[in-house]
Chain A
Amino acid sequence: MKNEIGKLYIELNEEFNFYAPIKDQGNLKFRKVLNPDDIVLDYYNTKIPPKEILFPEMEVLFEYKTDGKNVTEIIERKDLEYKNIIFGIRPCDAHSFTLLEYFFSYGDVKDEIFLKKRKNTLIMGIACNSPKSTCFCTSIEGHPFMKSDMDILLVDLGEKYLVEGISDKGKKLMARLKWLTDAKQQDVKIAEALSKKAEESFETKLDLKDIDKILDPNFEHPIWEEISDICIGCGTCSFLCPTCTCFDVLDQNNQYNNKGRRIRIWDTCQFSLYTLHTSGHNPRKSCIERCRNRILHKFCYYPENYDMLGCVGCGRCIQLCPVNNDLRSIIERINKIKSKKEEKVSA
């Protein structure tokens, strides 16, 4: 039942940090819930992506103490063992957590802080009955009712939710909630019909089948000038992208109290200083190179490294770009290169 969300909150709040969409200054964001009446579930998607729960805008990596000259002690973070529940997340954002996990666990040096938090996090998502006109998760092999990245999936049937446990963690949690009633065959049928209806209602369909094969040889193509001529290099697209992960590491020193801490803050490849070398050379000195880098990262390097596209199809960059540099038209123009392959000229 829809009015039982409060019951869910009260039961789980003591053991878990309960995160859900809450309105903050007119914007919908994922925040820790203090009052279950604040939870908003009748929404398309939050403005700030839920990556900020496990990968916040500013995060302390560790603290240290000094004796005036040298570091005497390093204090690691102790709050990573708390368990989290992210409630009310959409399938595209849940998929972004899978991509974030790949990124932070790639290679020899793994990001322990993110991975520990991720291990202690349970994802309870809600399927999209009516996607927005700018959503395109079906174009990146996703689905508005996709379950594979979640632990528990809820489907909105009107007056009640159909709850399905998907992973072992999810099934265990469901077993604890003794007040859930068994689903009827009819409910499952309604959910399947809703799923089909949502899949067919997508207005945006992009052809991303061979995009990495088109992008790879066309690094120097003159189309990049055309695509980026109105970009102002602000950083909104990366900050609001659920899969963008670049960060800057800074040390903050409090010399009067002989202590300090190392923090990380969000950074973006769209800033002009991102690739500035100390020699003064900047390989990406204009918006042309930086725009190109972002598209290649999402649609060419991710498939090369992880075998999946780095975009989840949430559409936030399309809605919030200040100059309305629409990703859909960019992809369309890139696909046209494929059909005009004979005319490809070296600038």
Chain B
Amino acid sequence: MVTQTKQNKNLEETWEPKILAFLCNWCSYAGADLAGVSRIQYPPSIRVVRVPCSGRVSPYFIIKGIMDGWDGVIVSGCHPGDCHYLTGNLVARRRFAILKELLEFFGIEPGRVNFMWASAAEGERFANLIKKATRIVKKLGPNTKFSKKW
């Protein structure tokens, strides 16, 4: 009996969430690169999509990600005021605010979709934020509301 529950617990612990990450080319993608080059460890749960600016990320991408079965979505951009295109992230911030509130209103767990700022020099900060996001998503469990049944 004891070995069985230990096995079940192992299976539960070994489930890794799959998180879709949109990283802006000039800051966050470079930040992720820096984390890699500096050998900073963070969970291998994210699948990166490089976008020119966080302002390119449309709500369609995020919602489609959730509907297709991704356990979590992260969007990361430059800090406000530091955008390579001057105002892209400011426009994006408004969109994210509304999207986050609407998702929570519709009953999709608020921890699944996260937004963050990480600059090109902040490799360690990037890794820490990914660790935190993975922890949150892992606690929520797999995305069972919207997996394609066929």
Please indicate whether A and B come from the same complex rather than being unrelated chains: yes
Interface residues, chain A, with chain B CB atoms under 8 Å away: 63, 254, 259, 261
CB distance from B146 to the nearest CB of A (A): 14
Chain A residues, CB < 8 A from B150: 63, 254, 259, 261
Chain B residues, CB < 8 A from A254: 148, 150
Interface of B is mostly: loop
CB distance from B67 to the nearest CB of A (A): 13
Chain B residues, CB < 8 A from A261: 150
Interface residues, chain B, with chain A CB atoms under 8 Å away: 148, 150
Chain B residues, CB < 8 A from A63: 150
Chain B residues, CB < 8 A from A259: 150
A/B interface sample: 5 pairs, CB < 8 A: A63-B150, A254-B148, A254-B150, A259-B150, A261-B150
> What separation, in Å, do the CA atoms of A259 and B149 have in the docked complex?
12
> What separation, in Å, do the CA atoms of A259 and B148 have in the docked complex?
12
Chain A residues, CB < 8 A from B148: 254
> What separation, in Å, do the CA atoms of A319 and B129 have in the docked complex?
56
> What separation, in Å, do the CA atoms of A216 and B150 have in the docked complex?
47
Number of residue pairs spanning A and B whose beta carbons lie under 8 angstroms apart:
5
Q: Which residue of chain B has the shortest Cβ distance to A259 in the bound complex? A: B150
> What separation, in Å, do the CA atoms of A254 and B148 have in the docked complex?
9
Q: Which residue of chain B has the shortest Cβ distance to A260 in the bound complex? A: B150
CB distance from A205 to the nearest CB of B (A): 48
Q: Which residue of chain A has the shortest Cβ distance to B148 in the bound complex? A: A254
CB distance from B18 to the nearest CB of A (A): 12
> What separation, in Å, do the CA atoms of A256 and B150 have in the docked complex?
12
> What separation, in Å, do the CA atoms of A63 and B150 have in the docked complex?
10
The 5 A-B pairs of least Cβ separation, nearest first, read A261-B150, A254-B148, A254-B150, A63-B150, A259-B150
> What separation, in Å, do the CA atoms of A79 and B148 have in the docked complex?
21
CB distance from A265 to the nearest CB of B (A): 15
> What separation, in Å, do the CA atoms of A254 and B69 have in the docked complex?
12
CB distance from A125 to the nearest CB of B (A): 35
Q: Which residue of chain B has the shortest Cβ distance to A252 in the bound complex? A: B150
CB distance from B117 to the nearest CB of A (A): 32
Q: Which residue of chain B has the shortest Cβ distance to A63 in the bound complex? A: B150
CB distance from A58 to the nearest CB of B (A): 12
CB distance from A89 to the nearest CB of B (A): 31
> What separation, in Å, do the CA atoms of A259 and B150 have in the docked complex?
9
Q: Which residue of chain B has the shortest Cβ distance to A261 in the bound complex? A: B150
> What separation, in Å, do the CA atoms of A63 and B149 have in the docked complex?
13
> What separation, in Å, do the CA atoms of A51 and B10 have in the docked complex?
51
> What separation, in Å, do the CA atoms of A191 and B142 have in the docked complex?
60
Q: Which residue of chain A has the shortest Cβ distance to B150 in the bound complex? A: A261
> What separation, in Å, do the CA atoms of A136 and B54 have in the docked complex?
59
> What separation, in Å, do the CA atoms of A261 and B148 have in the docked complex?
12
> What separation, in Å, do the CA atoms of A63 and B148 have in the docked complex?
15
> What separation, in Å, do the CA atoms of A244 and B150 have in the docked complex?
29
